[in-house]
Structure 1
Amino acid sequence: MFALAWPIVATQLLQVAYNLTDTLWLGRFSTDAVAAISLAFPLVFLFISIGGGLNVAGSTLVAQYTGRASDPDAADDAADGTGGGDDSDPVDTISHSRTAGTVAGQTLTVVTAVAVTFGVLGYLLTDDLLSVLPSSPATAGQVVPLAADYMEVFFLGLPFLFGFFVFSSLMRGYGNTRAPMVVMALSVLINVVIDPLLIFGVGPVPRLGVQGAALATVLSRTVATVVGLYVLLGTDAGPRVRLPDFRPQRRFVVQIVRVGVPSAMEQSASALGLITLTAMVVTFRPEVVAAYGLGNRLVSLVFLPALGLGRATNTIVGQNLGAGNPERAERATWLAAKVATAVMLVVAVLAVAFADEVVAVFISTGTDAAAETIRLGAEYIGVRAIEFGFIGVLQVVLGAYRGAGNTKTALAFSLLALWIGRVPIVYALAIAGDLGPFGIWVGMTAGQIIGAVAAAAWFTRGTWKEAVIDEADDARGA
């Protein structure tokens, strides 16, 4: 579990480094620039979420076919960083191993088509999307135009962002979490170097501001996508993908859609929830908007241990169910939940102790607005720290559901946490009530606690212990 999890945590840490690098440099550019990317992210994430759901399908199917290609006892070694195991039956092993490669190729084809379509739509609809958000006069005049500049560049580069996401998911399903980490490190290094050059301008490079931050992300992700495709097509580090595997095959497209659509709906619902929350937040002054966005980015950083263990659980559950070992999948899930809770409680203590210092690193213009943003951001992190132990449980249990292919259940509990928890509580406390920004912080925290308790209780029923590829094979045999 740890062999799988630590590269995932490192990869996600590098992923957050993208966001934090933008925030760090834009915080030196202007407070409005920080608020602009806070405003843009939920809208961009709405489009990314569809491809993300299909990536979950690819990861789950690759994991289960890889586990099926292994001797059941060899699934114990699935976390050695290479995937697979000793052959139990040579014919079945080769067949299921090839099927994992075919699923990977099919996932790449489907996700690429979705990425190109959504990239074009997002670029054309940027102004319309931003117009949905009710903004205060100051935010509408100072922040919204900058958000539009950021989003247009981001949408044009969407296929390249999707490319790395699908590569990482497929490799994770195979059991190789280290290759995505190395590719991500290369991409982040490029981003760190070119981000300030494009934001502030140096020599012949023009001063692009928020557009420069978006362009730096797109360029560095393009490199990651190209390298990832080489790994899949030209090496044996992951599922062996051949050129014929990219030709759409109805059987696998149906499997990807059946498993991926609930995950896509889950992530889309999360994106819509973030947009709804942002629509409420932007009715406050720009300092609150900036503190909310910065706080969310920092909270996403401290969630990394839980996220890593959750994704490792996804792979372990998928491979063990594919190998016919549901009891071991359940033991791994509970172990991961306990470890995630313990780690996140430690992180919570550190977050509360150093909240002011951490937030101040990213806002350094020295203005009154900057000082207020720092105060609000530190307050936000302090409140959110209450939920950290619960989020460890939630991430692990949702990972187990996804690894089993039970993505509808994961969807249900994500909706519960967001739409029964966060959104109505934030509205009741911050908009309808009189708590103001503090009501936003409390509502964001309460929703995750509700989701964690409910998801863990349902998990104990054991109704998730069936591999999705068994269902597909039974249907094909019939």
Structure 2
Amino acid sequence: MFTLAWPIVVTELLQVAYNLADTIWLGRYSAAAVGAMSLAFPLIFLLLSVGGGFTVAGSTLVAQYTGAGSDGDADFVAGQTLSFVTKLAVVLGALGFVATGPLLGLLPTDPETAREVVPLAADYMRVFFLGTPFLFGFFVFSALMRGYGDTRTPMLVMLLSVVLNVVLDPILIFGFTENPLFSMLGAEALQTSLFAETGFEGMGVEGAALATLVARAAATFVGVYVLFATALGPDLRLSYLSTDSDTVRKIVDIGVPSALEQSTSALAMITLTAMVVTFATPVVAAYGLGNRLISLVFLPAMGLGRATNTMVGQNLGAQKAERAERAVQLAASTGAGVMFCVAIVAYLFAEPIVSVFMATGTADAAETIRHSAEYLRIRTVEFAFIGVLQVVLGAYRGAGNTKTALGFSLMALWVGRVPTVAYLVFVAGWGPTGLWVGMALGNIVGAFGAVAWFLRGTWKESVVDDKPTGGTLAED
């Protein structure tokens, strides 16, 4: 389990590095730019989550066929997943590009936010959606490799992509005029020379999106090469990309609940964002900054949850249900302990942590830091529960029981979080503090419900044939 989990944690840490790099450099650009990412992310996630659910299906099926000793079927399912999700990504990217304006128009905004933040969010989203197929390409590669039991190769590919993004971010955001990177490196003469030669003044938030697009494209090309041209992971062939209706139906059956789970999570984020944007820019920026920091501390739980997905899938495929259950129990206790330690650190050093990401020296920046520190401290209450919930949801997904995972995700978001935020902000009048408290409650409610259902033991069933098929799907 730990062999599987630690590369996943590192990979997800590198995933967050994308967002943190954008936040650090945009934080030096303006508070409005950070706020723009706060608005853009849940809307982007809404469309991307549809495809993300089907990568879960691919990972689950590959894991169970691998555990059952049917490598040929695992390879064929991997090819079908890659083909299906790629086609879906093209459609979703085009839809997102066209729908950017109408989506942002649905959000009720403070006048200051509407004037300063919304146009920047639209610029970011349009560029980002152009790279949707590349974003999905890496997600599919990573999920298929994880189902096969190889989590280190995606980690190395992600490292390459993040390094490229970190290099491109300050250049594409600031250009060569007032780029703080050159000042930090003491290379003002080089900065002057490059500007004289290129005249490039930077693209602001669009530059941050373009840097991500280029870096994702590089990761996808490497991932596709690994799947088709190396002995690592599933052995894909071009013939496996031709649509097989029975296999696609199985991917859809498992993937739709996961897609709904992620989509409803995105809808919850949009609903929460609609509440947040009724506040002034510093609160909006604090919400976005705080969420990015929470996504960072979320990584140990996510890593254990995805490792549990693979462990449960392969063990159920091999008809070892009791071993799968022991893995879940170990992962849940470990996740809770690790997240509790992270909570202590985050609570004690909240203000220094958030200050790293806001360095413009303005009054808005100081107010953003104050709100962000309060947000982070309040959210630490839920950290241990996040660890437990993610592991148990991973167990349900690994068993192919994605409807159950959907149910408890809905409980966490639409019972524990959204109504609480609405009540505390608009009825109880708690202001920004109501936002922070309501956000913390959701995972606590979800964890209690998911564990209670898990203890019933009804999840221990495989979604593939009990006996290895020897690659009959591929042959058919």
TM interval, shorter chain, is over 0.9
2:66 counterpart residue number: 66
Deviation, 1:432, is: 2.2
Cα deviation per residue 1:410-431 (whole Å; 9 max; x = unaligned)? 0000000000110000000012
1:24-423 residue pairs with structure 2 within 5 A? 24-69=24-69, 96-202=70-176, 203=195, 204=198, 205-423=200-418
- Kept after mapping to 2: 8 A contact 1:255/1:472: no
After superposition, the Cα gap between the structure-2 partners of 1:301 and 1:352, relative to the gap in structure 1 and judged at 3 Å, is same
For these two proteins, the number of residue pairs brought into alignment is 450
Secondary structure of 2:262's counterpart equals helix
> How big is each residue's C-alpha offset from its partner over 1:335-374, in whole Å with a ceiling of 9 and x where there is no partner?
0000000000000000011110010000011011100100
For residues 467 and 105 of structure 2, the distance between their equivalents in structure 1, rounded to whole angstroms, comes to: 44
Alignment deviations for residues 265-300 of structure 1 (CA, whole Å, 9 cap, x no partner)? 000000000000000000011100000000000011
DSSP 3-state at the match of 2:464 = helix
Cα distance in 2 between the residues matched to 1:440 and 1:220: 34
Give a deviation string over 1:139-189, Cα, whole Å, max 9, x none: 000000000000000001111000001100000000000000000000000
Q: Which residue of 1 aligns with 2:464?
A: 469
Task: Assess, with a 3 A threshold, how the Cα gap between structure 1 residues 468 and 59 changes in structure 2: closer, same or farther.
Answer: same
1:129 and 1:151 map into 2 onto residues whose CA distance is 10
In structure 2, the CA distance between the partners of 1:288 and 1:471, relative to structure 1 (3 Å rule), is farther
The alignment partner of 1:166 has SS state of helix
The 8 Å contact of residues 280 and 431 in structure 1, kept in 2 or not, is answered as no
2-side partners of 1:270 and 1:370: how far apart?
Answer: 29
Q: Please report how far the alpha carbon of residue 470 of structure 1 lies from its aligned counterpart in structure 2 after TM superposition.
A: 3.1
Q: For the residues of structure 1 that align with 2:428 and 2:263, how far apart are their CA atoms?
A: 28
Partner AA of 1:33 in structure 2 = A
Q: 360-369 vs 197-206, which deviates more?
A: 197-206
Contact map agreement 2:317 2:466 (CA 8 A) in 1: no
Aligned residue for 2:179? none
The structural deviation recorded for 1:48 is 0.8
Instruction: Give the aligned partner of residue 420 of structure 2.
Output: 425
State the shift of 1:232 in Å: 0.3
Matched to 2:367, the amino acid is: E
Q: What is the deviation of 1:471?
A: 8.4
Distance 1:306 1:215 in 2: 30
**What is the letter of the counterpart of residue 143 of structure 2?**
S
C-alpha displacement at 1:236, in angstroms? 1.2
3-state secondary structure, aligned to 1:277: helix
Q: 1:435 aligns with which of 430, 436, 441?
A: 430
Deviation at 1:433, TM superposition (A): 1.9
Deviations 1:178-237 (A, max 9, x none): 000000000000000010000001232341000000000000000000000000000111
Structure-2 residue corresponding to 1:13: 13
Any gaps of 5 or more consecutive residues in structure 1? 70-95
